[in-house]
Structure 1
């Protein structure tokens, strides 16, 4: 009888000791779970996405004057930041983008026809230019195109001589760009100067940073109704244009355009203004 009692007591002690071991084992496991349930994932910590300093308002561009009024502040800002005449930047934008209405400008906000070149890591589009399906840079905003245009000129040694000129010397800037190889068109400087004079762009070369900040500079007045109507009777040739494509756009014929402009052949050049009706 005594033997049975001793055996039962021994079994009870053994069971109790086993139960205590289970409690000890559970405790650290619970702590481990708590730690794993509350981590701070470092890969979710993101830096804020940088956007352009100032985005231009979404306004309709019906003609070249609209383009000037919209982008003049951007060109002036770039002038004070990079020492490139605002008049030159605007004239190049007008010429290269067809006043913001070329397919390249509409599709990719590329207002200066800048190609991808080696080392470009941004987005791109293909566009027929000197060759078929060439690679051109694509921007999210038009002003990013303006910024990249400034950096393009300042980062290449062949344009270094231009920055010894005054920002009010738009004539030598125009000829200097051609000499440095910016464009292959022999008449490129003449076209830039012509646009600067026609739209009084050189006035922006004299705007101070304070005037820009306050908006207290001589803005070019909006065209009158008669001037706007007259502007629509002309088409500014952009990259990719042909007499046939222009005729289709304005619902006229190639023969009519040639006759109205005194053309003897189908050859046209970028920046040329054609009377279409």
Structure 2
């Protein structure tokens, strides 16, 4: 019995020590991640601001709104004179007076520069207080049509026919004749037109159409360094005479400005 027990013990010892597999736990080698610590050369792109050379047009500078009106509409008035024989000076003076130099309601909202009423008009209309409340006036898409309608209005009515027998540049005769023919009821209407024509030298536009434009020495183009005083000395004028001749309200000048330095004769 002792032998059997001894054999079993020896067998158990052999099995547990000799035949058991060793379990080895291998430590995982840490993975080495190479970090490139070299700073990249990040060159910031320089913003190159290309300043485009823009040519700024110097806006025209006018002494007043009437001067601006004349500059805008003188060409149209001259075209009407060539086509219909109405002095450009008269057309401009009437436009200035009746449209408040283009700032009146009828001219702003209806492009009607001459206060022409509807009569048999079939186009667009505007209502405005005049001799009576809310009278009907013609409305135009463009101011040039107002100037054309003014020409047609005068040439198409017999009561104005005598005016076309006058000299083409007789603005005084036209001013008086318009009122006499019933164009306006204001007794001072002729003198108002004549005053505007002479103050702003609107007769120069008549002279231009008729080929009687004054010589170049009647004008001076302002250059850098010019002053009213230096210009007046050059043309033997006083500063006040020069300002009155050009309807200037102050002493400001700009390069390229055209100044009249000799009155254009009225008796062309």
- The TM tier, using the shorter chain, reads 0.5 to 0.7
Q: Greater CA deviation, 202-211 or 66-75?
A: 202-211
Identify if the C-alpha distance between structure 1 residues 123 and 167 changes in structure 2 by more than 3 Å, giving closer, same or farther.
same
Give the structure 1 partner of residue 250 of structure 2: 226
**Is residue 70 from structure 1 mapped to residue 94 from structure 2 by the alignment?**
no
1:57-96 map, 5 Å: 63-96=65-98
Structure 1 Cα separation of the partners of residues 206 and 66 of structure 2: 19
Which of the numbers 97, 109, 112 marks the counterpart of 1:110? 112
Deviation at 1:226, TM superposition (A): 1.8
Contact persistence 1:69–1:220 (CA under 8 A): no
Structure 1 Cα separation of the partners of residues 208 and 191 of structure 2: 24
Give the structure with the higher percent helix: 1
* Poorly superposed stretches of 4+, deviation over 6 Å: 209-212, 217-223
Give the structure 1 partner of residue 202 of structure 2: 201
Q: TM-score, structure 2 length as denominator?
A: 0.56
Contact persistence 1:69–1:219 (CA under 8 A): no
Deviation at 1:208, TM superposition (A): 3.2
Q: TM-score, structure 1 length as denominator?
A: 0.55
Structure 1 Cα separation of the partners of residues 149 and 220 of structure 2: 25
Deviation at 1:224, TM superposition (A): 5.7
Structure 1 Cα separation of the partners of residues 134 and 61 of structure 2: 29
Structure 2 Cα separation of the partners of residues 135 and 220 of structure 1: 45
Structure 1 Cα separation of the partners of residues 158 and 208 of structure 2: 28
Identify if the C-alpha distance between structure 1 residues 165 and 116 changes in structure 2 by more than 3 Å, giving closer, same or farther.
same
Identify if the C-alpha distance between structure 1 residues 135 and 82 changes in structure 2 by more than 3 Å, giving closer, same or farther.
same
- SS of the residue aligned with 1:207? helix
Which of the numbers 97, 100, 108 marks the counterpart of 2:99? 97
Deviation at 1:207, TM superposition (A): 1.5
Contact persistence 1:97–1:111 (CA under 8 A): yes
Structure 2 Cα separation of the partners of residues 73 and 219 of structure 1: 21
Calculate the aligned-residue CA RMSD, in Å.
2.8
Deviation at 1:141, TM superposition (A): 0.5
Segments of 5+ residues of structure 2 without an aligned counterpart are 1-59, 223-245, 253-268
Structure 2 Cα separation of the partners of residues 219 and 128 of structure 1: 44
Contact persistence 2:200–2:247 (CA under 8 A): no
Contact persistence 1:108–1:139 (CA under 8 A): yes
Deviation at 1:166, TM superposition (A): 1.4
Which of the pair has the greater relative contact order for Cα pairs under 8 Å at 6+ separation?
1
Structure 2 Cα separation of the partners of residues 219 and 143 of structure 1: 30
**Bigger Rg, which one:** 2
- SS of the residue aligned with 2:178? helix
Q: Would you say how many aligned residue pairs link Structure 1 and Structure 2?
A: 165
